[in-house]
Amino acid sequence: MKAIRFLTVILLTVFFPQVCLAQTPEFDNPIAEQRADPWVHKADDGTYYLIATVPEYDRIVLRKAKSINGLKHATEKEIWHKHEKGVMGHHIWAPELHRIEGKWYVYFAAGEAEDIWNIRMWVLLNPSDDPMEGEWKEEGRIKTSRESFSLDATTFEYKGKRYLIWAQNVRGGAHGTALVLSEMKDPLTLTGPEVIITEPEFSWERMKYNVNEGAAVIKRNGKVFVTYSASATNHNYCMGLLWIDDKADLLQASNWNKSPGPVFYSNDELRRYGPGHNSFTTAEDGETVIMVYHARDYKEIQGHELSDPNRATRARVVQWTESGFPDFMQNQGD
């Protein structure tokens, strides 16, 4: 059987090279230097937008292009800057761009200028057709039932309902962050209940810090998949996977399944260190799933990992197993 498959690939390559090339997009990695927590949104007209954390943690920037590779040299625009004092005054992290009911929203995390670790989730709104144009206004904070450290909000629609997944300290103290899910009544308001769908329980989720964060959602093959990142943002940073049957109740925690090991992690041979905080988009063909993530190309970091600026945005094709699960090709380069 393997020989037949191999022969088929050879014949396709010889007689129909355009088919094979169309199925294997190649990327000019890294797509963006010194851009972490990348989020790529593909608009209905095929335009790609990249938004990400900058190493100064002081502003939100956006770039657009007609292709993923085009984002590399696209002109970047600052669309919002941190406050000089008070809330939204420090640690501007992990912005995401979403198009909801004809308007653009940016979800992001921010601390206070006077209390930099008092981090909460905030929302910007722009009614323009092009998020690079018009005026971005502060819509307010996403309020959760727990008043605690919270970040990395991502929103998605499923079966006519909108949901939010975010990372939050739910146990207090040094327990770190869990992923929490809630339904929304509008892009800013949670309706509850707020359901914990994963907490750091395995050793690979508890390296230096107990962390589950940076969720990204992909719906395919009768399941809802959620990737997330775990551990400190050094070479221990890695990705885990949750999934649930699409007929199950998303707000029932026991319906969620979790990978016992990481699905994407550091690889010395490929000089890929601390991969994570990904997003999903599709290639220009509208079908091929692309994962956009950040990683470093060196292991040793001088000082604290959050002070190292060199997490770079990268892109790679997601493969799929025969059982319908995403395969992140851990031992292959981008």
Cα separation of the two ends of the chain: 27
**H/E segment holding residue 6:** helix 2-15
Q: Choose the catalytic residue: 37, 152, 308, 334.
A: 37
Q: Choose the catalytic residue: 213, 305, 308, 334.
A: 213
Burial 36-54 (b: 16+ CB within 10 A, else e): bbbbbbbeeeebbbbbbbb
Q: Which amino acid is at 283?
A: A
Catalytic residue check, 213? yes
Calpha distance 32→143 (Å, rounded): 32
Calpha distance 258→168 (Å, rounded): 18
φ/ψ of 211, rounded to 5, equals -135, 130
Say if residue 205 is exposed, middle or buried (CB neighbours under 10 Å; 0-12, 13-18, 19+): buried
Catalytic residue check, 37? yes
Overall size of the chain counted in residues: 334
Calpha distance 167→149 (Å, rounded): 8
Residue corresponding to tokens 């909460």: 120
Active site residues: 37, 213
